[in-house]
Structure 1
Amino acid sequence: MAGVDCTFSPSGHVATVTLSNPDRYNAMTLAMWTGLGDALESLKANAAVRAVILRGDGDRAFVSGADISEFAEQRSSEAGVAAYEVAVARAQGALEQFPRPVIAAISGVCYGGGLGLALACDLRYAAPNARFRMPAARLGLGYTLHGIRRMAAVLGVAQAAELFYTARVCSAADAAHIGLVNAVDEDVFARAAEVADGIAANAPMTIAAAKLAFNTVLAGTNDASADADAVAAAVKACFESEDYVEGRKAFAAKRTPDFKGR
Structure 2
Amino acid sequence: MTSTDVVLVERAKVGNGVVATVILNRPEKLNALNKEMWQRVGEVFQELDQDEDLRCIVLRGAGDKAVGPGADISEFATMRNNSEQATEYGGLMHASMQAIRDCRHPVIARIQGLCVGGAMELALMCDMRICGAGSKFGVPVNKLGLVMAYPEVEALVGLVGPAVALEILYEARVFDAVEAKDKGLVNRVVPDEEVDAAVASTVEKICAGAPLVNRWHKKFVYKVAAGAELTAEDQAEGFACFDTQDFQEGVMAFMAKDKPDFKGN
Judge same fold: TM > 0.5, yes or no: yes
Give how far 1:93 is off: 0.5
Q: CA deviation at 1:80?
A: 4.4
SS in 2 for 1:71: helix
Mapped pair 1:251 → 2:254: yes
Specify the alignment match of 1:57 in structure 2: 62
Aligned to 1:199: 206
* Alpha carbons 2:94, 2:151 under 8 Å: kept: no
C-alpha distance in 1, partners of 2:111/2:104? 21
Q: Which sections of structure 1, spanning at least 5 residues, go unmatched?
A: none
Alpha-carbon contact 1:134-1:163 (below 8 Å) kept? yes
Corresponding residue number in structure 2 for 1:102: 107
Alignment equivalent of 1:166, drawn from 171, 174, 178: 171
| Pairing 1:9–2:12 present | yes
The CA deviation at 1:95 is 0.6
Aligned length, in residue pairs: 258
C-alpha RMSD of matched pairs (Å): 1.9
Q: CA deviation at 1:85?
A: 2.0
- 1:116 maps to a residue whose letter is E
Please tell me whether the aligned partners of residues 29 and 67 of structure 1 are also in contact (alpha carbons under 8 angstroms).
yes
TM-score, normalised on structure 1?
0.92
Q: Following TM superposition, by how much is the alpha carbon of 1:77 offset from its aligned partner in structure 2, in angstroms?
A: 6.8
Q: How far is 1:151 from its partner?
A: 0.7
- How big is the shift at 1:146? 2.3
Counterpart of 2:150 in structure 1 is 145
* Greater alpha carbon shift after TM alignment, 234-243 vs 47-56: 234-243
Query: Could you tell me how far 1:76 is from its partner in structure 2?
Result: 4.9
2:244 equivalent to 1:241: yes
Matching residue of 2:98: 93
- Residues 76 and 145 of structure 1, relative CA distance in 2, 3 Å threshold: closer
Please tell me whether the aligned partners of residues 150 and 218 of structure 1 are also in contact (alpha carbons under 8 angstroms).
no
Amino acid paired to 1:222: E
Q: Does 1:208 align with 2:208?
A: no
Distance (Å, rounded) in 1 between the aligned partners of 2:227 and 2:172:
26
Q: Secondary structure at the match of 2:78?
A: helix
Q: Percent identity?
A: 37
TM-score computed with the length of structure 2 as normaliser:
0.91
Distance in 1, Cα, partners of 2:95 & 2:151: 13
